[in-house]
Amino acid sequence: TAGITQAPTSQILAAGRSMTLRCTQDMRHNAMYWYRQDLGLGLRLIHYSNTAGTTGKGEVPDGYSVSRANTDDFPLTLASAVPSQTSVYFCASSEGSADEQFFGPGTRLTVL
């Protein structure tokens, strides 16, 4: 079973460019999440979706957007990247919003 996949694995992006980070899960989980992880800080929630068709803002949503057109996919878009968005991005999913979360392998993004 693949679980959760993310693409790309890593990316270098010029400031001002847009980019979509992809996330797909095959566990039929209802809830999905996007986090960023920066050195010395805990994981910070960017956006989440409790079920297909709904999304919500997390702790650090500015500069990011998401969509949840179906159960499996939860893409994260940076409309105009800035250097402060350099980070490791993790997608996660859980069966319900109160359940343990399963994480994808992460995308390492560098914005120059």
Partner 1 sequence: GQNIDQPTEMTATEGAIVQINCTYQTSGFNGLFWYQQHAGEAPTFLSYNVLDGLEEKGRFSSFLSRSKGYSYLLLKELQMKDSASYLCAAMDSNYQLIWGAGTKLIIKP
Q: How would you classify residue 70: left for phi > 0, otherwise alpha for psi between -120 and 50, otherwise beta?
A: beta
Cβ 80 to partner 1 shortest distance, Å:
27
Cβ 17 to partner 1 shortest distance, Å:
26
Angle at 64 between CA 80 and CA 20, to 5 degrees: 70
Distance CA 17, CA 33 (A): 23
With residues binned 3-state (H G I as helix, E B as strand, rest as coil), the percentages for the chain, rounded to 5, are 5, 45, 50
Stretch in the footprint of partner 1 (CB under 8 A) among 18-26, 63-71, 74-82, 90-98: 90-98
Among 44, 61, 72, 75, binds partner 1 (CB under 8 A): 44
Kindly state whether residue 22 participates in binding partner 1, applying the rule CB under 8 A.
Answer: no
Kindly state whether residue 75 participates in binding partner 1, applying the rule CB under 8 A.
Answer: no
Closer Cβ to partner 1, 71 or 93, answer by number: 93
Kindly state whether residue 106 participates in binding partner 1, applying the rule CB under 8 A.
Answer: yes
